[in-house]
């Protein structure tokens, strides 16, 4: 692990200078605040802009605070994942293309620490943003809905974080493997399309990384599927480690492709 400390500093500074350190948390926090507010004021919003006919009566579902966390997770599953893919699509591939990689690869560093420095910093930024978003939502849920138990929230967040780490690893290792365009395409297939497929026909199996989010939302209810939960967690961790090793090897193999 030669030069991991230096590379971590380089990653940190780079993400501060291209503002990813700031805009990604802000966007996640904004979504975290909007979700409870719109759900709470939905009846009034519909009354004033919904063009409902005179005298129309609707019974709105009575949301509990726990439901808001799950619906916010649904937002992050689409918009959040898209932001992760688009913001970090070029982490390694565009460094190869712009020539930054040439300056790095001539130095005595291992590709392990090169890949891990990116992995650690990107995970730090994304996990920090997701947690800040959920904390903002939690604050608003306590004001507008019912208080939610801290134990449930943390169990939910820890489980959900595992899925986020998996998503970041997918994007980063694909970026080591392919061009920027290929990274975007394949990441969208793996993280968004497979997620939809898993939710449509996923009733036939209980163990898959795409089920981790479903198990995370179960933290708020008493229903639980212990064996499927732990098997999915284990499988996701194994796949993440496998993708990290794959990414390191691909970064090494594609080192010759840099523009000089």
Partner 1 sequence: MAELANIPWNLILPILVLQLILMAVALIDVIRRQKTNGPFIMWIFIILLGSLLGSILYFIFGRRQD
Binding residues (CB under 8 A) for partner 1: these are: 18-20, 22-23, 26-27, 29-30, 33-34, 37, 83, 86-87, 90, 94, 98, 136, 140, 143-144
Nearer to partner 1, 140 or 215 (CB): 140
Query: Whole-number minimum distance, CB 167 to partner 1, in Å?
Result: 17
Nearer to partner 1, 83 or 167 (CB): 83
Cα angle at 61 between 59 and 66, to 5 degrees?
165
Q: 37: buried, middle or exposed (CB in 10 Å: 19+, 13-18, 0-12)?
A: middle
Query: Whole-number minimum distance, CB 157 to partner 1, in Å?
Result: 21
- Exposure string of 40-70, with b = 16+ CB inside 10 Å and e = fewer, is beeeeeeeeeeeeeeeeeeeeeebebbbbbb
Supply the DSSP symbol for 55: T
Nearer to partner 1, 83 or 212 (CB): 83
Among the listed residues 187, 167, 166, the one whose alpha carbon sits nearest the alpha carbon of residue 175: 187
Nearer to partner 1, 172 or 212 (CB): 172
Query: Whole-number minimum distance, CB 251 to partner 1, in Å?
Result: 18
Query: Whole-number minimum distance, CB 115 to partner 1, in Å?
Result: 19
């Amino acid at each position: 692990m030669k030069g991991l400390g230096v590379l971590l500093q380089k990653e940190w500074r780079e993400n501060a200078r291209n503002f990813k350190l700031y805009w990604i948390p802000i966007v996640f926090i904004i979504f975290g605040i909007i979700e409870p507010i719109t759900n709470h004021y939905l009846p009034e919003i519909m009354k004033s802009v919904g063009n409902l006919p005179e005298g129309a009566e609707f019974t709105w579902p009575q949301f509990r605070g726990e439901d808001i966390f799950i619906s916010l997770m649904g937002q992050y599953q689409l918009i959040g994942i898209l932001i992760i893919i688009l913001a970090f699509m070029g982490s390694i591939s565009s460094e190869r293309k712009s020539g930054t990689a040439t300056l790095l690869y001539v130095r005595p560093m291992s590709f392990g620490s090169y890949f891990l420095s990116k992995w650690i910093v990107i995970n730090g930024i994304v996990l920090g943003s997701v947690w800040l978003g959920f904390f903002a939502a939690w604050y608003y849920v306590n004001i507008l809905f019912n208080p939610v138990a801290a134990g449930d929230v943390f169990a939910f967040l820890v489980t959900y974080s595992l899925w986020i780490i998996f998503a970041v690893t997918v994007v980063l290792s694909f970026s080591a493997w392919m061009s920027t365009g290929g990274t975007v395409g394949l990441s969208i297939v793996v993280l968004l399309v497979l997620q939809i497929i898993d939710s449509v026909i996923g009733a036939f199996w209980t163990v898959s990384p795409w089920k981790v989010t479903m198990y995370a939302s179960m933290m708020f209810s008493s229903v639980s599927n212990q064996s499927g939960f732990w098997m999915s967690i284990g499988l996701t961790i194994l796949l993440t480690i496998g993708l990290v090793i794959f990414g390191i090897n691909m970064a090494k193999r594609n080192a010759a492709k840099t523009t000089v």
